[in-house]
């Protein structure tokens, strides 16, 4: 119980931030070397050079740890400004596919999604750590397209939020299915065709 008091966390915050970074990096390293099934919190703690208690104070199990380790990879995504909505979508799709091709992202994401089918708390963590965080790309891309005059502004907040959710689902669903389910390449030609169809649909639905 004493480890949950405010004072220890407050005085150790800078050190904990460094420990968290080391733990997440070690998790990705373990995913590459041994895969999700053989990954253990003890091994991760050893790789990160931290005590097991340090790890357990932050993560209750390896599923939550892997979600956060993979989420950091998706934080690397950036929306390039290529001049048009279709070209911007193509650019972010290619980045997304490249991340999913990395073994730590592929094995980690597939494993936690499978585990989440019977774990509502884990599903919520995936939504918060990955899905909600990456909707920033949709918001940025839509605002940029509106400023260019490619899409009209949306005045209804409810409808706007619904559109953001739908765009994210279409992009994420298509890329994940293409790369991890169908195991087909999400190369430049595929990304260009997908982006063209999606941008045309968005422009049409706005009128």
| Bigger pLDDT: 9 vs 37 | 37
For the cut 60, the answer to whether the pLDDT of residue 204 exceeds it is yes
Q: Which two tokens stand for residue 15?
A: 């050190």
Local structure of 102: helix, strand or coil: coil
Write down the pLDDT at residue 101.
94
Q: Where are the domains of the chain?
A: 2-59, 70-205
Length of the chain, please? Answer: 207
Q: Residue 68 and residue 109: Cα distance in Å, rounded?
A: 10
Q: Could you report the per-residue pLDDT of 10-24, keeping only the tens digit for each?
A: 444 444 789 999 999
Task: List, in order, residues 6 or more apart from 12 with CB less than 8 Å away.
Answer: none
Write down the pLDDT at residue 9.
43
Domain 70-205 sits in CATH at: 1.10.357.10
Write down the pLDDT at residue 206.
63
Q: Could you report the per-residue pLDDT of 158-178, keeping only the tens digit for each?
A: 999 999 999 999 999 999 999
For the cut 90, the answer to whether the pLDDT of residue 82 exceeds it is yes
Task: List, in order, residues 6 or more apart from 50 with CB less than 8 Å away.
Answer: 19, 22, 23
Which CATH architecture best describes the domain 2-59?
Orthogonal Bundle (1.10)
Q: What is the pTM (predicted TM-score) of this model?
A: 0.85
Q: Could you report the per-residue pLDDT of 132-160, keeping only the tens digit for each?
A: 999 999 999 999 999 999 999 888 999 99
**Residues 77/105, Cβ–Cβ less than 8 Å:** no
Share of the chain above pLDDT 70, in %: 92
Q: Residue 164 and residue 162: Cα distance in Å, rounded?
A: 5
- Cβ-in-10-Å burial (0-12, 13-18, 19+) of 74 comes to buried
């Amino acid at each position: 119980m004493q480890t949950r008091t405010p004072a220890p966390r407050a005085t150790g915050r800078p050190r904990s931030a460094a420990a968290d970074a080391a733990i997440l990096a070690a998790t990705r390293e373990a995913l590459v070397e041994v895969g999700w099934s053989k990954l253990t919190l003890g091994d991760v703690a050893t790789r990160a050079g931290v005590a097991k208690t340090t790890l357990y104070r932050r993560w209750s199990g390896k599923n939550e740890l892997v979600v956060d380790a993979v989420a950091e990879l998706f934080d690397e995504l950036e929306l390039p400004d290529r001049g048009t909505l279709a070209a911007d979508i193509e650019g972010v799709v290619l980045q997304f596919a490249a991340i999913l091709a990395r073994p730590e992202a592929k094995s980690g994401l597939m494993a936690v999604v499978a585990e989440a089918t019977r774990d509502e708390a884990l599903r919520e963590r995936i939504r918060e750590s990955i899905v909600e965080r990456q909707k920033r790309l949709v918001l940025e891309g839509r605002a940029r397209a509106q400023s260019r005059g490619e899409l009209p502004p949306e005045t209804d907040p409810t409808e706007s939020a619904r559109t953001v959710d739908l765009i994210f689902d279409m992009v994420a669903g298509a890329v994940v299915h293409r790369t991890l389910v169908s195991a087909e390449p999400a190369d430049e030609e595929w990304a260009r065709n997908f982006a063209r169809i999606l941008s045309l649909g968005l422009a049409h639905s706005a009128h």
